[in-house]
Structure 1
Amino acid sequence: MEQRHLGRTGLRVSRLGLGTLTWGRDTGERDAADQLKTFWEAGGSLVDTADVYADGGAEYLLGRLLENLVPRSDLVIATKAGSVPHPDRRFDCSRGHLLSALDASLRRLGTDHVDLWQVHAFDAGTPLDETLQALDIAVSTGRARYAGVSNFSGWQLAKAATWQLAGIGRTPLASIQMEYSLLQRGVEREVLPAARDLGVGLLPSSPLGRGVLTAKYRDGIPQDSRGASEHLAPFVAPYLDDAAGHIVDAVVTAADGLAVSPLQVALAWVRDRPGVTAPVLGARDARQLGEALSVEALTLPEEINQALDDVSAPVHRYPDDGWSTL
C-alpha cells in the first residue's frame, strides 16, 4: 500500500487507516484479529482507536493483538483522549485529565508509546494553551511520537496549530481527524484550507458516509447493518434522506461504468482529495475490509471525479462566493 507523510512531518502512514470504533463491543477478538491481519498483510500501517471506544475495550483488544498477532513495530498506533462519559460534561481536555488518560491508554495497549496522540474534541471549558501543553508533555516524555486533534472547527484548528508553531519546544500538530465523505463535505469550507496552509494532514473518518455510500441502504435497512443497530442507527439516520440518495445514485452509476463497487468509488474519491492523508475505515468484518483495501489499484478518471464533485457540492455562500457589500 502506498505510504504518505502525515502533514508536514516525517511520519509516514498507509494511505488507508483501520478504525476500531466497534472493537470490544460489536466486534469481538476473532473478527478484530482477522481485520488486523488482513490490513497488515495488505501493507496497512495506521490503526486508529480512542480511550472511549467500548470504554477502553477497543484499546485493550488492540493491545492483545499487538502482543500475539502483528509486530508493534509494523504499525502506526493512533489513539485519542478528551471525551468523557459524564452527563454534565462531554469533554475534559484539561492537562491533568489528558495525561492520566494517555497513561491509561498505554497500559491497555501494552506499549510504552503511541505514534499519534490526538485530542478528541475542542473543550471550551479548558484554556486551549493548557490542552496543547499536554501534547507537548506527552511528546517530550516519549509517551507519544506525534500529536494531533480531532473534531475542531476551522478557527479552532488555526488557533491551535498557529500556537504550536509560534513557540520554541512546542509540538507542531501533525494531523486533524474529521468526518469527510461525498455525503459530508463541510470540512472543505474552513477546516481543510486551514489544515493545508498549516501543514496538518487530514484523516477522514466515516469516509463511506457512515456506510450509506456502499449503496446497501438503497432498498431499505439490512438487518446486519449499523442502521439496524440499536446504538448506531441514530448515527446512520441523518444520511438516509433524499439528498443523500441522489449522491448514492451517482456513485452507483460511476461504479457501474468502471465495473467496480460503489464502496470503491466513494473511497477512492475521498482518499485522493487534496490535503487528505488517509481515510480511516471501520469495517464489519475482514471480507468487507478486504473489498475496501482493493481500492489501492483504483484511481478515478477526472471526468468521474468532476461529476461526483458536482452532484455532492455543498452550498457555500458568503463569504466563500466572493460576494461583497462594497
Structure 2
Amino acid sequence: MQQRRVGSTGLTVSRLGLGTMTWGRDTDEHEARDQLIAFAEAGGTLIDTAAGYGSGASEELIGSLIGDVVARDEVVLATKAGISSRQGGRSYDTSRGHLLGTLDASLRRLGVDHVDLWQVHIWSDDTPLEETLAALDHAVSTGRASYVGVSNYAGWQTARAATWQRAVPGRTPLASTQVEYSLLNRAVEQEVLPAAAALGLGVLPWSPLGRGVLTGKYRTGTPSDSRAATSHFANFVNPYLDERGAGIVEAVARAAEGLGWSALEVALTWVRDRPGVTAPIVGARTAAQLRGALGVDELSLPPEITAALDDVSTD
C-alpha cells in the first residue's frame, strides 16, 4: 500500500487507515484479528482508535494483538481523548488533567509506552483552548505521544488551534485533523480543508463511505445485519437515508457498473484522492468487507467520473 506524509510532518502512514470503533463491542477478538492480519498483509500501517470507543474496549483489543499479529514498530497507533461514556450518555472533557489521565489509561490498555498520534477528539467550549493544547505539548515533551492532532473541529477552530501552536517556539505543531468526509458529507471542503492546507495539517476522513450508505447496502431496505438495524447505530446512519442520499448512491452505483467496480471502491477512491486528504479511516464489520476496501490501492477514478460525482454530490 502506498504511503503518505501526514501534513507537513515527517510522519508517514498508509493511505488507508484501519478504523476500530466497533472493536470490543460489535467486533470480537477473532474478527479483529482477521482484520488486522488482512490490513497488515496489504501494507496498511495506520490503526485508529479512541479511549471512548467501547469505553476502552477497542484499545484493549488492539493492545492484545500488537506484538502478536503485528510488531509495534510496523504500525502507526493513533488514539483520541475527550469523549467518554457516562451513565448511558456521552461526556465531553478536554481539560488538561482529564486528557492526560485518559492518555495514560490508553497507554495501559494498548500496552505501549507511547502512541504515534494523539488527538483531541472534540472541541469543547468548557475548557480554554490553550489549556487543551497544553496537554498536547506535555504529551509530546514527556514522550507519551510522537505527534498530535485534533478531531471534529470546525474550520475556525482548526485554524485557531493550529495557529496557536505555531505562535511560540517550543509548542508542538498540529500534525492532523480528523473529520467526517464523504460524497454524502462534503461540508469540510468549505473551511476545514482550506485551513488544513494553509497550516500544514494532514486530513484523516472518518466515515468515508457515508456511514456505510455509499456501499449501496441500503438501496432496497435495511439489512438485518447492518449498522442501521442496531439500536446504537440506527440514528447514526438514518440521516443519510434520504432522497438526496439516494440520488448520490445511485450515481455511485452507475459509476461502479460502468467501471466494473463495486460501489465501495468508487466512493472510497473518490475521497482518498481528494486534495489534502492523507488517509481515509475505514471501519469494516468483517475481514471480507475490509479486503474489499483494501483493494482500492490499485485503483484511480477517471477524471470524467470524478467530475460527475462532484456534480451530483454538491449541495
Query: TM-score higher than 0.5 here?
Result: yes
5 Å-filtered alignment, 1:1-326, equals 1-86=1-86, 90-314=91-315
Q: What SS does structure 2 have at the residue aligned with 1:67?
A: coil
Q: In structure 2, how many angstroms separate the alpha carbons of the residues matched to 1:153 and 1:290?
A: 32
Secondary structure of the 1:173 match is coil
One-letter amino acid of the structure 2 residue matched with residue 170 of structure 1: R
**How many angstroms does 1:68 deviate by?**
1.8
Deviations 1:41-85 (A, max 9, x none): 000000000001111000000000003211111000000001132
Q: 1:319 is matched with which residue?
A: none
Q: Partners in 2 of 1:281 and 1:208 — Cα distance? A: 8
Could you give the per-residue CA deviations for residues 192-217 of structure 1, whole angstroms, max 9, x where no partner exists? Answer: 11001100011000000000000010
Question: Aligned with 2:80: secondary structure?
Answer: strand
Q: Which amino acid aligns with 2:17?
A: G
Q: Which residue matches 1:323?
A: none
SS in 2 for 1:218: coil
SS of alignment partner, residue 172 of structure 1? coil
- Supply the AA of the counterpart residue of 1:254: A
Query: Which secondary structure does the structure 2 equivalent of 1:142 belong to?
Result: coil
- 2:279 aligned partner, one-letter code: A
- Report deviation, 1:89: 7.4
Q: For the Cα contact (< 8 Å) 2:51–2:84, is it kept in 1?
A: no
2:24 aligned partner, one-letter code = G
Question: Which residue type is aligned with residue 3 of structure 1?
Answer: Q
1:136, distance to aligned residue in structure 2 (A)? 0.3
State the number of aligned residues.
314
Distance in 2, matches of 1:85 and 1:282, equals 20
Normalised TM-score (structure 1)? 0.95
| CA–CA separation in structure 2 for the residues paired with 1:33 and 1:219 | 32
- Give me the whole-angstrom Cα distance separating, in 2, the residues matched to 1:29 and 1:137: 33
Shift of 1:154: 0.6
Amino acid at match of 1:304: I
- CA distance, structure 2, for counterparts of residue 115 and residue 230 of structure 1: 33
| Partner Cα distance (1:120, 1:160) in 2 | 13
How far, CA to CA, are the matches of 1:65 and 1:182 in structure 2? 33
Q: Output the amino acid matched with 1:313.
A: T
> What amino acid is the match of 1:303?
E
- Conservation of the 8 A alpha-carbon contact between 2:205 and 2:279: yes
Instruction: Work out the CA distance in 2 between the residues paired with 1:186 and 1:120.
Output: 18
- What is the Cα deviation at residue 221 of structure 1? 0.4
Superposed displacement of residue 90, structure 1: 2.7
TM-score, structure 2 as length reference: 0.98
User: How big is the shift at 1:229?
Assistant: 1.0
Q: Deviations over 1:16-48 (max 9, x none)?
A: 000000000000000000000100000000000
Cα deviation per residue 1:228-279 (whole Å; 9 max; x = unaligned)?
Answer: 1111111100000010000000000100110000000000000000010000
2-side partners of 1:22 and 1:308: how far apart?
29
In 1, the alpha carbon distance for the partners of 2:34 and 2:114 equals 24
CA distance in 1, matches of 2:160, 2:235: 32
The Cα RMSD (Å) is 0.9
Counterparts of 2:198 and 2:263 in 1: how far apart (Å)? Answer: 32
Residues 149, 177 of structure 2: 8 Å contact kept = yes
